[in-house]
Amino acid sequence: MAEPLVLTLSCPDQPGITANVTGLLFKAGGNILEAQQFNDRTSDRFFMRVEFDPGEAPVEGIYRAFSQLAKTFDMQGKIAQRDRPRKVLIMVSKFDHCLADLIYRWRIGEMPMEPVAVVSNHPREAITHTLLADLPFHHLPVTRETKPEQEAKVRELVEETGAELVVLARYMQILSDEQAEFLAGRCINIHHSFLPGFKGAKPYHQAYERGVKMIGASAHYVTADLDEGPIIHQAVEPISHADSPEELVRKGREIESRVLAEAVRLHLEERVLLNGQRTVVFRS
């Protein structure tokens, strides 16, 4: 088998899209390994993801034919290598459970990424000592005054390292609009509540005060409008009156870790397509 590729696209819905896309791959000698599509009837928009073995012929032919087709159907889309680990930059503040989880998954070969940098506004000593090992760590402290410079350094780092995704793994700083714009579509945040409930600070304490019976976490793309970006994944767990805010925080760590890991995995596997303020998520 040649190196598998993954094609993702969205376009205005009309007859023949699937036939044309799959026909193109078939004529080029490709073989579909996995495919999903979604017709959004409220927006009349079409979404597709195809994993395929391109076959023996040079892949340039497929790229060219798809580029042609994209014009015809007004598609936004791309073809990418399926199995190449994506470069990821992880940002963290003091609570490092999401970082720990992502890194462990990567170390055992489960998370298809190459971590190119870990950035924190806290010094290396604030991070649980066994986590980083030889991962490149950058301490970029931030105050209200130094925020523009600090964010500029992050942008430099993204460019130097070629990071394709920035993961805010409990990075407790609000990004400027400029930074959010710079990272649009390639920055995932974990919010430690079940959005849209309990936006803002201390969501577990908010949840405790309100007396809810479940808590959750939400992984979403970062936008200028904090806590409002397109949601990729969410999960919840039941709680009871006997759970103190501290116990909610403990239970929350587990939910946050797995919600973020799942969202990152889905993104890295090109399974998440933007649909306005919402997402289309093609699970296998």
Establish if 217 lies at the interface with a copy of itself (CB under 8 A). no
Contact between 280 and a copy of itself by CB under 8 A: the answer reads: yes
Nearer to a copy of itself, 105 or 139 (CB): 105
- Catalytic one of 40, 53, 83, 227: 227
Number of chain residues interacting with a copy of itself (CB under 8 A): 76
- Whole-angstrom distance, CA of residue 137 vs CA of residue 135: 6
Contact 69, 61 (CB under 8 A): no
State the minimum distance, in angstroms, from the CB of residue 177 to a copy of itself: 21
Span 218-277, contacts to a copy of itself by CB under 8 A:
218, 230-236, 240-245, 247, 250, 253-254, 258, 275, 277
Q: Which of 125, 130, 135, 149 is nearest to 90 (CA)?
A: 135
Instruction: Write down the least CB distance from residue 149 to a copy of itself, Å.
Output: 31
Question: Taking CB under 8 A as the rule, which mask of x and - marks residues 103-122 in contact with a copy of itself?
Answer: -x--xx-x------------
Nearer to a copy of itself, 41 or 71 (CB): 41
Residue 53: active-site member: no
Residues 194-213 that bind a copy of itself (CB under 8 A): 194-198, 209-213
Map residues 20-59 to x or -, x wherever contact with a copy of itself holds by CB under 8 A: x-xx-xxx-xxxxxxxxxxxxxx------------x----
How far apart are CB 158 and a copy of itself at their closest, in Å? Answer: 25
Catalytic residues: 227
